[in-house]
Structure 1
Amino acid sequence: MSATISVILDTRRAKQTNKYPVKLRVTFQRTTEYYPTIFDLTQADWNKLSATRLSNELQSKKDKLKEIERMATTAILEICPFVFTEFEKIFIKDHPFFKQRKTKEVSFESNGDSFDYSPFYKKFPLLLKPLGTPGFISYSYTIQIKKLLREGRIGTAVNYHCSYRSLKKFRGDVMFHQITPTYLVEFENLLKQRELSKTTIGMYIRPLRAIFNEAIEDGIIKREKCYPFGKRKYRIPTSRNVKKALELSDIEKIYFYKCNPNEPGEQQAKDYWLFSYFGNGMNPKDIANLRYKNIDGDYLIFERSKTENSLRSDPKPITVFLNEDMKAIIERWGNKNKSANNYIFPILEPGLTPLRQYELNQNFVGFINGWMKTILSNLGIDKKATTYVARHTFSTVLKRSGASTEFIQEALGHTDLKTTESYLGSFGREMKKDIAQRLTSFKKEAQL
């Protein structure tokens, strides 16, 4: 069970201005905490926030309160298991939209590393602690997280930090030799008691296995003495999740859904979701990173952000046919400055730090998923339409329409070289165009 959040108007005591403080309410296991924001509103203005037309000032406050909700939800998902103090450290502390309590400055030794980690302290409190002693997991986790941050791999660093917090909550900062197969089985059982899926459990333990391998490579430990993974030892649980793709009839309903003209976010989110679906199930991060130089006539050619580290020496570009809907979406929401190096969509901007890019990408995903949930509810479709579902639906629709598995693997940009290497680059542009047209076959059927 995860924590729940909501932004509320605390009407228990009015201020001299006849306004009330706006607070973030967080509830977990029947315990509730309130965190005051910097915003105060009258009861009348609070009631107006649900209206379609607002003054510029009220609209600005509404947008910022929605941003608080989105970012707080993301922060909660990163705290595993959830603890209020951790939430306060990584989200409330130093946040410009919250009132701050006075805290004591924390200093730490840089250990000869000239990289500036200070922007990451709030999200990675482990960095504020002394490096510790080789042989303890905190030492190796800290080294690896710092390496990932230097490489700009914020999402992966978050996964490692989440893994460490969960392990430390289990039995503290232990030494590698204390992590035995029995330890790992007991840790897994604890997570199962918290009703976490096998997939989530694997996400906590795989970083630990990587940390073990790094410690062996660095000569901190010896594999033959304390490596707990492998056959006849501990094996990380895996599962085949039932992936729920939308039917083509669902896509048709989404495509022809009339968005509320007073809620531009609804139309924008729907367009971005369809752009992902039409664009080979494009990942939101890849959409955000598209630049006008990626457009080559009627095609988009780009490299997946996910493979920029795994296939640095031989990246495989993805070619997407730009159908008329994708072109219209670019015209509707794209940056008007179409210089080659400019981003196509106004999600990112030049000069952002990797951390800020990560935060904006997370907000982008939350923005799409939030509105798509509303759209499917309005359509009476009892399914999810997340950005991941768009990607899976793309592959499922193509498979059912007769596209080969090899083509779909290339279109999705999978990095499993054993199954895709001999096929990459073997499909011509005309075939890509023909396959892309199958994605909108429902449009022709609707016109009959």
Structure 2
Amino acid sequence: MGAIKVVLQKVKRANGTYPVRIRVTKNRKSKFFKTIFQALPEEFDEKAEQFTRKYANYLQSNRVLLKFKDKALKVYTELEYENEDFSLSDFERAFISSAKPAQIIDNFFYFWNDLIEDLNAAGRTGDARIHKHSFAALKKFNGSTQLRFEQIDIAFLQKYENQLRSQGGTNGGISVRMRSIRTVYNLAISRSEAKTKIGRMLNENYPFKKYKISRLKSNTIKKALQYEEMMKIVKMDIIKYPHLILSHNLFVFSFYTRGMNFTDQMLLEWGQISSNKISYTRSKTKGVFNITILPPVRNILDYYKENSLNTKYVFPILLKDNLTPMQIENRKHKTRKQYNKDLKEIAFHCEIDTNLTSYVARHTFANSLKQLGVATDVISEALGHETLAITQTYLKDLDSSVIDEASALLL
């Protein structure tokens, strides 16, 4: 028999506590299942698998915790009796079905809340934030969190789309909301037995067979600077505006590092920098980049080496090491907001009319290569796109000009 144990999962929450989970291990693979509890390390006895006296209402809570474990043991034993080769996914479906009554299992928001908690626990706080906003938007439209899966049909989705449009929603924004709903629906399917009433209903009434999210193509035009405008920013006498130095450096650094995005700049560590290369994995696509350090980038690196905060990070965005995923997400949100505000002021001083944001540096990098003569396949590789078609779509909204040479001409 596999091992079933109550543990304090080592995923620190924003309030300093850790989730108390049921860990099920089979064939050296483990899965964690949530309980209703979270605790500080000193409030939980790992060896005894129970709360200490420091935990509020510890006696009652330990009794409830024991029920969670007993339920897991019962489900595991029954599955093993039926088929000793069952998988952890089989256990997950059986455990969830047995842990909650059918009316709760059929509640769409129940699965959504589970997804958000799992994303946060996995450190995917950015995805969790997107789902949290989508959760709130649908709750407002629905009027409550009482929503059965069978209510989510094409008519429901179309009505929701119409409401979002009436509030000024764009194709891109509506697509995000709908993809969140589809993700939750798919999660429910993966966790439900196909032969059960709910499992059959989910598969038979799958609304996204007819409601096509792919038609909600973003109509936002990518904004990019002309090469000459970018040079105005690069050559700006930033010393006159000390409060803009970080934002100016981030924008210029991004331009000369193939459009490195804000998140990757925030997480960039000194250990990823050699004498003449920057090596990192892009957080969005997981593509690996090895970028030659051009003189403007070297100047910025030298500046932050001299003005280091003694952290592992290059840029003074994360002000100390070992932050929790939630702390990193909160810091990213706050700093990027200030960054985009600073870029407006930089554009003003450089007499540039384009609405500058952190994304414009990446678009400008691509657009400048087009203006300076770089072939699309070279631009595609520089941006880290998987196919040339993606790059062609990416570039079609950007200003085109005479194509001549490669990125060394950006200097």
TM-score by length of 1: 0.61
| Alignment match, 1:103 | none
Task: Tell me which of 210, 223, 238 is aligned to 2:217.
Answer: 238
Gaps of 5+ in 2: 1-13, 23-32, 41-99, 193-197, 392-404
* Residue deviations 1:231-274 (CA, integer Å, cap 9, x gap): x445452224211211011112112222353x422122111110
Equivalent residue in structure 1 for 2:157, among 168, 172, 184: 184
Q: How does 1:296-335 map to 2 (within 5 A)?
A: 296-308=274-286, 316-334=287-305
- What secondary structure does 2:323 align onto? coil
Measured in 2, the distance between the counterparts of 1:178 and 1:147 equals 25
Deviation at 1:114, TM superposition (A): 6.5
Shift of 1:279: 0.7
Shift of 1:208: 0.5
What do residues 119-177 of structure 1 show as CA deviations (whole Å, max 9, x unaligned)? Answer: 9xxxxxxxxxxx98112111111111111111111111011111111111111321111
Counterpart contact for 1:136–1:175, Cα < 8 Å:
yes
User: In the alignment, which residue of structure 2 is the partner of 1:288?
Assistant: 266
Paired residues for 1:204-215 under 5 Å: 204-215=177-188
Corresponding residue for 2:68?
none
Residue of structure 1 in register with 2:208 after alignment = 229
376-385 vs 162-171, which moves further: 376-385
Counterpart residue number, 1:113: 34
Partners of 2:284 and 2:360 in 1: how far apart? 18
Q: Are 2:249 and 1:257 equivalent residues in the alignment?
A: no
Task: Give TM-score scaled by structure 2 length.
Answer: 0.66
| Contact 2:107 2:149 (8 Å CA) reproduced | yes
Select the structure of larger CA radius of gyration. Answer: 2
Cα–Cα, structure 1 residues 114 and 176, in superposed 2: closer, same or farther, change >3 Å?
closer
Deviations 1:43-99 (A, max 9, x none): xxxxxxxxxxxxxxxxxxxxxxxxxxxxxxxxxxxxxxxxxxxxxxxxxxx99xxxx
Corresponding residue of 1:157: 128
Distance 1:335 1:210, change over 3 A: farther
Q: Secondary structure at the match of 1:242?
A: coil
The reply on whether 1:346 has 2:316 as its aligned counterpart is yes
Instruction: Check the 8 A contact 1:136/1:176 in 2, yes or no.
Output: yes
Q: Which position in structure 1 is the counterpart of 2:29?
A: none
| CA distance, structure 1, for counterparts of residue 165 and residue 359 of structure 2 | 25
Does the residue aligned with 1:300 lie in a helix, a strand or coil? strand
1:197 counterpart (147, 170, 173): 170
RMSD of aligned Cα (Å): 3.2
Q: Percent same amino acid among aligned pairs?
A: 28
Give aligned pairs, total: 302
Residue 403 (structure 1) shift: 2.4
Aligned equivalents of 2:279 and 2:259: distance in 1? 14
Q: How far apart are 1:409 and its partner, in Å?
A: 2.7
**Residue type matched to 1:188 in 2?**
E
CA separation in 1, counterparts of 2:219 and 2:410? 26
Tell me if the contact between 2:125 and 2:326 (Cα under 8 Å) persists in the aligned partners: yes
